[in-house]
Amino acid sequence: MSFIQPPLKHDLQYTADTAQLFARVSHQPWAMFLDSGYPQSQYGRYDIFVADPFVTISTVENGAESQNTYTEIVQNGEKTISHDDPFAILNSLLAPYQAAQNALPFTGGAVGYFGYDLARQVEHLPNIALKNDALPHMMVGIYDWAVVVDHREKTACLVSHGFQQSTHQNWSALCALFDAHAEAAIETDVDPRQAAFTLTSDVTSNMDFKQYAKAFDAVKHYIAEGDCYQVNLAQRFSARAHGDGWIAYQKLREISPAPFMAYMNFGGLQVLSGSPERFLQLTDKHVETRPIKGTRPRSDDVLQDQSYAQELQQSIKDKAENLMIVDLLRNDISKNCEIGSVKADKLFQLQSFANVHHLVSIITGKLKQGKTAIDLLRGCFPGGSITGAPKLRAMQIIEELEPNRRGVYCGAIGYVGFDGNMDTNIAIRTAMYATDDNGEGEVSFYAGGGVVADSILEKEFDETLDKASSLLKTMQYFKPSH
């Protein structure tokens, strides 16, 4: 493949800790950091960050009925409202900006989150769970420049296709900002949200063991009745907090590095994701998804840790769960892939992270002519590994049994480039931190697991705690008594 360099490219001094570089813009609204967890994460290579989008897209649910959802688009300072499908809106906004492939994974385009409840634009779901977060279903910016760090090649650069005149006008200032001798941050007025991060209450769950058991039994009943094969059942943790979520995110990436991490700053909302799971990657028509299903905890005792990993690899139950989701995702990506191109390349690969072992499978395909990354994303949304099978019935059961809407959790975070390429995670191990103008707010996160016919209540409940352990440990660090 021949690569064409973007017209604007400025080499930067490489640093192993991209967080230091991103800190120069982390305070800006709509600043986003797609973080590979390097060097602690053995799977990391590229870090990407952006700020100052020239278009912002926010999909908001207005009132009790999800049919009243609308999308607010801000472009060149002008705000417009659309009731069209949010995926179609993003497709149309990206369409005028097309760029050739180049050697970097991302050189400008759309970056943001696609919340779990964006599924309501794809499927008809009941309105039962509490919408306490009231978060937008989708928040995506379109960016004309990006900083890309390649940890394998030990390079870093600022890149842009220069679609916006303002990028050309500000290019020298941008280069200076990220050069090694630049100040660590831009001087700004003091913002209360930039104060040190502190928890101001204990972390609590929306389901104690008894409540979880009741929901678990209901899932088992639905499975026995033939409604479904598997349902991902999650509990929600939350605490009151004050200060800057960027500080909490830096601790999370230290405690639990993962290959598909992300930090997103929307001002009154910050998203802190420590996800280990790729959802969809599209590179020059090549489609890849890597569902995770099957979990065991890590142990500080080497022999015990090896025992957990071996037990997972030999588990017929976990392999069966994984295979259900592989079949579901093969079907989902086939909607927008060439006939006969979809294959399960690898099954049940062991991957070990800071707090858990996982089984990961790899499914690939080739995108159909005339289809876009957004078409692929919509056709697979939300990821089957965090709903269950069959997907629609599992989502209906989730809405019935989980007390709270999921928000960003179990949606996707990532980019869709001007070159048509895409990479997204499944937004698990992900916290949402919503604050008021005084920096007071609530941090919330979820942890769940797939319940199947032979699931054991205590083991499934403990698995949710294992998955939440990194975020619980991060929050514990910021308790005042620490």
Domain-located, residue 322:
yes
DSSP letters for 53-69: -SEEEEEE--SS-GGG-
CB-CB neighbours of 361 under 10 Å: 23
- Residues 149, 47: contact at Cβ < 8 Å? yes
Please, which pLDDT band fits residue 189 given cuts at 50, 70 and 90?
Answer: very low
Model confidence at 100: pLDDT above 70: yes
Task: Summarize pLDDT for 149-163 with one digit per residue, the tens.
Answer: 999 999 999 999 999
Domain-located, residue 313:
yes
User: What local confidence, expressed as pLDDT, does residue 200 receive?
Assistant: 95
Q: Which CATH number goes with the domain that contains 370?
A: 3.60.120.10
Tokens of 287: 């489609």
Q: Determine the Cα–Cα distance for residues 33 and 251; give it in Å rounded to an integer.
A: 15
Please, which pLDDT band fits residue 1 given cuts at 50, 70 and 90?
Answer: very low
Q: Which has the closest alpha carbon to 405: 216, 133, 59? A: 133
Domain-located, residue 295:
yes
HSE toward the beta carbon, residue 452, CA cutoff 13 A: 19
Please, which pLDDT band fits residue 63 given cuts at 50, 70 and 90?
Answer: low
- Residues 324, 454: contact at Cβ < 8 Å? no
Model confidence at 182: pLDDT above 60: no
Model confidence at 480: pLDDT above 60: yes
Task: Summarize pLDDT for 429-467 with one digit per residue, the tens.
Answer: 999 999 988 878 999 999 999 999 999 999 999 999 999
* Domain residue limits at 387: 8-184+201-477
Please, which pLDDT band fits residue 2 given cuts at 50, 70 and 90?
Answer: very low
Tokens of 248: 């909490």
Which of left, alpha, beta for 106 (phi over 0: left; psi -120 to 50: alpha)? beta
Model confidence at 62: pLDDT above 90: no
Q: DSSP secondary-structure letter at 187?
A: -
Domain-located, residue 191:
no
Domain-located, residue 103:
yes
In the block, tokens 């489609």 appear at 287
Tokens of 20: 């230091």
Domain-located, residue 444:
yes
User: What local confidence, expressed as pLDDT, does residue 13 receive?
Assistant: 94
Number of domains in the chain: 1
Give the residue numbers annotated as catalytic, written as ranges.
277, 293
Average pLDDT over residues 194-222: 94
Average pLDDT over residues 219-226: 96
Of 7-16, 63-72, 224-233, least confident by mean pLDDT is 63-72
As to burial, measured by CB atoms within 10 angstroms (0-12 exposed, 13-18 middle, 19+ buried), residue 268 is middle
User: What local confidence, expressed as pLDDT, does residue 188 receive?
Assistant: 42
Domain-located, residue 236:
yes
User: What local confidence, expressed as pLDDT, does residue 70 receive?
Assistant: 94
Torsions phi, psi for 106 (to 5 deg): -150, 130
Task: Summarize pLDDT for 315-350 with one digit per residue, the tens.
Answer: 888 888 788 888 888 999 999 999 999 999 888 888
Return the higher-pLDDT residue of 49 and 358: 49
Model confidence at 41: pLDDT above 70: no
Which amino acid appears at position 438 of this protein?
Answer: N
Model confidence at 23: pLDDT above 70: yes
Model confidence at 354: pLDDT above 90: no
**Beta partners for residue 149, in sequence order:** 47, 156
Please, which pLDDT band fits residue 134 given cuts at 50, 70 and 90?
Answer: confident
Q: DSSP secondary-structure letter at 347?
A: E
Domain-located, residue 482:
no
User: What local confidence, expressed as pLDDT, does residue 5 receive?
Assistant: 67
Per DSSP, helices labelled H in 6-101 are: 18-22, 86-94
Q: Which has the closest alpha carbon to 267: 250, 245, 252, 248? A: 245
Q: Determine the Cα–Cα distance for residues 354 and 433; give it in Å rounded to an integer.
A: 23
